[in-house]
Amino acid sequence: MTTLSQIDPVALRTLAVAVQLGTFEAAAKELRVTPSAISQRIKALEKRVGRVLVHRVKPLEATEAGHVLVRLALQTEALEREAVAELVAEEDAEDGPWPAVPIAVNADAMYSWFTDALVEASARRRVTFEIFRDDQTRTTERLRRGEVMAAVTSDPHPVPGCAVHRLGTMRYRALARPDWMERWMPEGPTAAAFERAPMIAFDRDDTLQHAFMRKVTRRHLTPPTTFLPSVHTFDAAVRRGMGWGMVVESHAREEVASGELVELVPGRHMDVPLYWQRWKLASPVMADLTAAVVDAAEEWLAV
């Protein structure tokens, strides 16, 4: 049986770079070798583990086994960077390496509370972040593929090799302007009114509005929809009467209290539970980041 000590670290990194960049040619340029050398290293790794690791299409796609080894390569690189950072003497700290942490986060969390966690984590340690914005129902896919080290997700089931921490719940309310309601839903939020009234969605992965309509009407409806992939623009469009949308409760408390915005169905809301999934690494950086994320979430989310 193949052990981890038998896996060539150079081949492991080659696989990760090839999958990340999408082609042998791009990986060859990054690693300063020939495309043939990239292919040979990956073939040798496949022979060693006895599995096909990549689908040789453009862009390259890792197989399930490939994703496991890509994740291993990135975890190894992360631990190496942290180890080097710890070995740097205090007088050379300014010139030492900065560990980089890629994270997948949904837009509403990023806009409201997640930045607080990043600021706190960066105040504790020298670290940089790369944020991948994705719907909370899809962020674990990036974690599973080894693209990120941690994710804010609505999925409580741990990705292999990851730990899960419950963060709390983001509450959304279906809101619109009063004059919009008078025009588009004069008889209330009936199925017929929902079907014809203009709706705002974040992007095509945003299914929250449709889930709310099904909850209220028990029907699958397809209203005219405008896609606005920015939290600020989304909220502004609802406030200015462009359509109705599911707005994070904390983003619109003042407008609801003043009557500037009203609920389509008073008292009805959608709760989205959020979890923090991260690699199981004995990593001080990840430990500090996790503590900062949990603390920031407790201040913002209903537990």
Same domain, 84 and 174: no
Domain that holds residue 264: 170-271
Q: Per-residue confidence of the chain (303 residues) as pLDDT tens digits? A: 455 557 888 998 899 889 888 999 999 999 999 999 999 999 999 988 888 999 988 888 888 888 888 888 888 887 777 676 666 645 455 666 777 889 999 999 999 999 999 999 999 888 899 999 999 999 998 888 888 999 999 999 999 889 999 999 999 999 999 999 999 999 999 999 999 999 999 999 999 999 999 999 999 999 999 999 999 999 999 999 999 999 999 999 999 999 999 999 999 999 999 999 998 887 888 999 999 999 999 988 854
CATH code, domain carrying 192: 3.40.190.10
**Bridge partners of 302?**
169
For residue 118, tell me if it sits in a domain. no
In a domain, 212, yes or no: yes
How many separate domains does the chain show?
2
- Among 39, 62, 97, where does a domain finish? 97
Helix (H, G, I), strand (E, B) or coil at 153: strand
The answer to whether 279 touches 149, Cβ cutoff 8 Å, is: yes
Which one-letter amino acid corresponds to residue 58?
K
Domain for residue 77, yes or no? yes
* Residue 297 resides in a domain: no
pTM, entire model: 0.80
Residue 127 within a domain: no
In a domain, 151, yes or no: no
Listed residues 97, 123, 152: the one ending a domain: 97
The residues with which 131 forms a beta bridge, in sequence order, are: 103
Looking at 49, 76, 97, which one is the last position of a domain?
97
Determine, yes or no, domain membership for 61: yes
Q: Is residue 303 part of a domain?
A: no
Residue 274 contacts residue 169 (beta carbons within 8 Å) = yes
